[in-house]
Each structure stands twice: as C-alpha cells, then as structure tokens.
Amino acid sequence: MLPTILFSIILFLYGITIGSFLNVCICRLPKKENIVTTRSHCTSCGYQLKWYDLIPLFSWVALGGRCRKCKARISVQYPVIEALNGILWLTIFFVCGVSIETALYCIMASALLALSVIDFRTYEIPFGFNLMIAALGLIRVLTDLPNWTAYVIGFFAVSAPLYLLYFVTKGRGIGGGDIKLMAAAGLLLGWKLAILAFLIGCVLGSVIHVIRMRVADAKGSKAEHVLAMGPYLSAGIFIAALWGDRIVTWYLGFYA
C-alpha cells in the first residue's frame, strides 16, 4: 500500500512538471518560438522567471496568479494544465498499474492535452504531436508483435474513411490534422479502440458543439460555430485507451 501511495505522489509531481512544459509548448509552438532555448519570462514586463517562480502549481498559487515584478495577471491556463496533466497521469496509473501501457498512455495523454488546447485556439494540430503518438504506436507494435495486424489495421480503420471524406469535400468536412491524429492513435490502440475513440469523439463533439452554439447565439457571436475536432477526438482516444475494452465488452453483452 505504502509503495503505491509513494509512487502515486512521485508520478503526480512528474505529471505537473511535464504539464508545466506543456504550457510552454501551448504558448510557443503556434508562434513558432523555440521551446528550449528561450528563458521563461513574464509576457507583460519581460521579467525573467527564477527557479522558484517555476515550481508547477505551487508558484502560481503562492504568487496569487500574478507576476512577482509587475503584478500582471498570469493566465489560469498554467496551473490548470499542470494539475490536469498530473491528474491524467494518476488516472492512467490507477487503471493500468505498473505496465508498459501506463508509460505509453502518460506520454499520449500529455500530447493529447497540448494538441487539444492548441487546436481549440488555432484550428491547427502541430504535426509533431501526431508524430509522437505514432512513435508510441510503433513501440506498442514492437512490444505486442503477435497482434501487430490489429494495430496496422488500426492505423487505417478511421483515417482512411476520413481521408476519403477530406478528398470528397475538398478539406471542408474534416481537418488534415484530425486524420493524422486518428491514424496515429489507431496504431497505438488497434482498430477496435480506434473506431470506439472516434465514435466517442463524435458524440462528445456534437453534444458539446450544439450547447456552445446555443450559448454563442444567445450572446450574438458567430465565432463559436467553427468546430475544432481535436479536443473531442482526444477525449475519445483517452477514454477508449483506458476503458475501451470494458465498454466494448459491456456493449456486446447486450447481444449475448
């Protein structure tokens, strides 16, 4: 019991630290800024953050969400992404235990989290995140060679029909980044869970989009009508990865 608690705490601390790095990616990648060499600074006054300003979660809370120098507000995005990444990692550990899945899914969840925020803001999924998930898929195939066909079929199971849709609608039906995301996730999860992930993503996307459109109409703004699929597909991929097998078994149980 004690080792589990200790491991959970360490994993959470690693999680929020990587979450802090995700914030850097989220802010800088769309602006094509370097994510490694540029020192972290306050976007209002340029104050270069010291190590004690950069402790995930705690610094933001200790500073009351304001810059140490100029007292400008620091976006709540920073602690939220940090905490969320820590919570996602803990959730994965509780579901998958000490396993290769936990390692693969933690990296996957962080990539999904960052690409979701970037897609939500810019309608673009940076190619690097899809490439990273595909690399995880490759590791998955190599560590589960007897089932390699399920993963290779997974690569095409959702992405190929989507590509057809993309081709027919000349890119208006679906984004290229979404197709690559489903291909990469398919390679990591296998075809059954890839299809399930896509279905969950579509259901979440339509329900939440309809609600957001209603809210936007009430406010009289039109911007909300554009739909970024990345966050919904990501949620679908995460849910399918962790609970997909159980969902499929439960669903098939209706026909048994």
By CB under 5 A, name the binding residues for Zn ion. Answer: 42, 44-45, 47, 67, 69-70, 72
Q: Categorise residue 46: left if φ over 0, alpha if ψ from -120 to 50, beta otherwise.
A: left
Nearest CB to Zn ion, comparing residues 46 and 97: 46
- Smallest gap from Cβ 27 to Zn ion, in A, equals 15
- Smallest gap from Cβ 84 to Zn ion, in A, equals 25
Nearest CB to Zn ion, comparing residues 45 and 98: 45
Nearest CB to Zn ion, comparing residues 68 and 209: 68
Nearest CB to Zn ion, comparing residues 67 and 141: 67
- Smallest gap from Cβ 75 to Zn ion, in A, equals 13
Nearest CB to Zn ion, comparing residues 21 and 47: 47
- Smallest gap from Cβ 62 to Zn ion, in A, equals 15
- Smallest gap from Cβ 83 to Zn ion, in A, equals 23
